[in-house]
Each structure stands twice: as structure tokens, then as C-alpha cells.
Amino acid sequence: FAFSKFSQFIFPVVLMQHVCAQAKGVGLVYCGKSGFKLNDSEKIHLSACTWFLSIVGAFTIAAPFGITQEHLDGDLGSFRSIAMICALLEIGYFSLCLFNRGRKTDEWLPKGSFLLWGNLLLFVFLPFSWMSFIWIFVPVFYHASQHWTIAWLSHKQSSHDNDMVLPPRQLFLSFLRLLIPVQAVSLTILFFPMIMTSLNLGGVLNGFFGTGILSVEWSMLVFYLHYLSDRIVWRPK
């Protein structure tokens, strides 16, 4: 039973670590673009915040992917309370460090980093049960879109594409040419069971994939493949 609790806890943690680590990385990109450099101590505290959010998120927004009330009634319930307290203390301390730095040196955290990390905090700590439905939108419209934006910008810069000097409206339309097809494919995969059922083409597939969105088991498979490929594509250089 202990192993069952552990194995069901692992996937939500890995899921949240992947989301939090990317949010951390993208936030640091905003910092780099604005010339805001974290010192060694701030980097350590940012990493600590990332891991604490990963653990807490496994008990909150990612709980439907493995953790049940039965698990929380046992030892995991106490662990959740401790993790939340530690996370709030670490986030509060890190925020205070950044505030004091801004007050003393007038070097403030860039707006992009502030909004992204603040958005992540809301995802993790909002207590409403309906927040679990946000997973229908997070992978495509929040998490994946960060990847595509950076990949698009990197491609444009490395290829010295003249599109980078276009007016904002045309630049946005250029980005949409990448975004819309990928979003369409992602949503088609996510809602594949529902599409097949609505077209009366489900048949045997309904028992295999379900009738709504991809089941947790299939989502886990897709996620782990995505996680491993991310490690290859976005490896440090």
C-alpha cells in the first residue's frame, strides 16, 4: 500500500516539476532580456521555490492525476501541510529579498517574470475544486505556448529573419502562423475521444481511449514522452 501511495504521488510531482521548471526558465529569460541578474543566493532560493511549488502543486491542482482523499487521510495529509507551510515561508522570503533589492538599488523584477511566476502561484494555491479543469487549457494555452514563443523567437534570431523588424501587428500574425496549426493539432489529440464519439466512429476505440478527453493513463504516457523529449531539445548548452 505504501508503494501504491508513493507511485501515485510521483506522477503529479513530476508533472508539476515540469511545469514549474519551465516557468522558472521562461521567467529567467525575461530577466536576461531586461538585464536583471539574480545573484547566487537568489538563484538558490528561486530553485527552492520551484521545488516546493512542485510538491505543493501535486497536492492541489495536479492531485486528480494520482492523489485521492484516501491518500490524504493518511501520512500524505501531514506531509501536505508541512510542504505548504515550507513553500509559503520560502516564497515569502524570496519575495522579500527581491523587494528589498528593488527598494535599495531600484532593480525590480521584470514585469514578465512577475506576471508569469505570480500566475503560477495562483495555479498552485487557489483552493477551488473546479481549478482542476484548468488542465484542459494549461498544456496548450499556457505551458506549451511558452515553448513555442521562445522557439519562434530563437528561430527568427538565428536565421536573421527580416520578420523581426515587421510592425507589431504583422509580427503577431507571423507568430500565429506557427501557433494556430500546433494548437489545432494539440486540441485534436486532447479531444480525440470526444470527436470520434460525436462522429459515431468510436466503436472499439471508446473502450480504449474513453469518450471525453484523453484519460489520465494516456495523458501520463503523452506527458512522459513529452518530458523526455523536452530534456533533449532544451538541454543546457
The tens-digit pLDDT sequence of the chain (237 residues) is 444 556 667 888 888 888 898 899 889 988 998 999 999 999 999 999 999 999 999 888 888 777 766 666 666 777 888 999 999 999 999 999 999 999 999 999 999 899 999 989 998 998 777 777 777 777 667 777 777 777 777 767 766 555 556 677 777 777 777 777 777 777 777 676 666 666 665 555 555 555 556 666 666 677 777 777 666 666 554
42 CB burial (10 A radius; 0-12, 13-18, 19+): middle
Distance of CA 127 to the CA centre of its chain: 18
The x, y and z cell numbers of residue 124, run together, are 498552485
| C-alpha cell read off for 111 | 514585469
pLDDT at 160: 59
Coil, strand, or helix at residue 38? coil
Q: Helices 2-33 and 144-158, interaxial angle, to 10°?
A: 40
Element (H, E) at 74: none
Residue owning grid cell 460525436: 198
**Beta-carbon neighbour count of residue 179 at 10 Å?**
17
Question: Which pLDDT tens digit goes with each residue over 104-120?
Answer: 999 999 998 999 999 89
Give the whole-angstrom CA distance, residue 124 versus residue 16. Answer: 9
Nearest-10 Cα torsion for 166, 183, 119, 46: -80
**Which pLDDT belongs to residue 95?**
96
